Structure 1
Amino acid sequence: MSYDLQAVIAVEETLRVVSRGLAAARPASVGQGLALVPMTYALFDAVADGSGMGASGFRRLTGGFEQTLARWSEAGPVAYVESEYFGGVGEQRAVVWEGGAVVLGPLHVDEGEPFASAGSPVSQALRRLGAVARAGRDEFSAVGLDRHRHTEAWIA
């Protein structure tokens, strides 16, 4: 089985306000007051500005969209995450902006690497946004990011 997620995550109200002018941005509620905007192909096409990919190693995060996320973070912390797995093997990347600057990351765990003692990159980003792990669960599952297996399923 596979899992892939490429998304912007923030406090629900913040994300709805800052993404309002971007028609391809479709916020979906997750747990603990957070929401995500899936980085669909339509959104990627809408935010790609020809400047090429950002320097942080993400697959779908363009340099121009990094600047947009920095601006969005003036209203509250904003994370961009990517997680891809197939058969239990994969990778994660995460970065968080707040007040216009990167405050966490970019973090990454490549295929075959263990998570840091602080947790997976996505869980660390979620924690920075205020998510709280529950007994026996990390922040990733506590907010329900395991609800859908593919990015596009969040807008269905």
Structure 2
Amino acid sequence: MSYDLRAVIAAGETLCVATRGLTAARTTSIGQGLSLLPMTDALCESAADSSRANALGFQRLPGGFEKLLADWSAAGPVAYVEAEYFGGVGEQGAAVWDGGGVVLGPLRVEEGEPFAPAGSPVSQALRRLGVVRGADQDEFTAVGLDRRRHTDAWIA
């Protein structure tokens, strides 16, 4: 089975206000006061700046979008997360902006690399956003990122 996620995560109100001008943006609540903005093909195409490269090395983040995330973070922390797995093998990446600048990452774990003692990149980003995990779960599971297997399924 496969899993892929490419999304922006922030407080629900932060994303609601930030995405007002993006017609391709669709947000959904994921719990603990956070919402998720899937980086769908339509959103990537509408937000892409082909004259700029993605400065952080993420696979799906459109060029120049990190500037938008920095701007949004003036209202509170904003994370960009990527995860791709097939048959239990894959990779993750994450970064968090707050107050206009990157405050975590970019973090990346490539295929075959172990997670850091602090947890996966996505879990570390979620923790920075204030997610509280349960005794038997990480932050990823605590907000239900395991409920959907593909980015586009978050807007279905």
TM range (shorter): over 0.9
Tell me how far apart the structure 1 counterparts of residues 122 and 37 of structure 2 sit (CA, whole Å). 15
Tell me how far apart the structure 1 counterparts of residues 54 and 113 of structure 2 sit (CA, whole Å). 23
Number of the residue aligned with 1:152: 152
What is the CA deviation profile of residues 57-111 of structure 1, one whole-angstrom value per residue up to 9, with x for unaligned ones? 2111123111011001011110000000000000000000001100000000000
| Structure 1, 84-93 or 53-62: larger mean CA deviation | 53-62
| Structure 1, 17-26 or 121-130: larger mean CA deviation | 17-26
Query: Would you say the 8 A contact 1:26–1:38 is kept in 2?
Result: yes
Which runs of structure 1 show a deviation greater than 6 angstroms over 4 or more consecutive aligned residues?
Answer: none
Tell me how far apart the structure 2 counterparts of residues 106 and 49 of structure 1 sit (CA, whole Å). 20
TM-score (norm 2): 0.98
Which amino acid counterpart does residue 105 of structure 1 have in structure 2?
Answer: G
What is the CA deviation profile of residues 12-43 of structure 1, one whole-angstrom value per residue up to 9, with x for unaligned ones? 11111111111111011101110010000000
Number of the residue aligned with 2:47: 47
Number of the residue aligned with 1:135: 135
1:95-134 equivalences under 5 Å are 95-134=95-134
RMSD, matched Cα: 0.8
Task: Point out where structure 2 has 5 or more consecutive residues left out of the alignment.
Answer: none
Which amino acid counterpart does residue 62 of structure 1 have in structure 2?
Answer: P
Report how many aligned residue pairs link the two structures: 156
Number of the residue aligned with 1:86: 86
1:16-35 equivalences under 5 Å are 16-35=16-35
TM-score (norm 1): 0.98
Tell me how far apart the structure 2 counterparts of residues 53 and 24 of structure 1 sit (CA, whole Å). 21
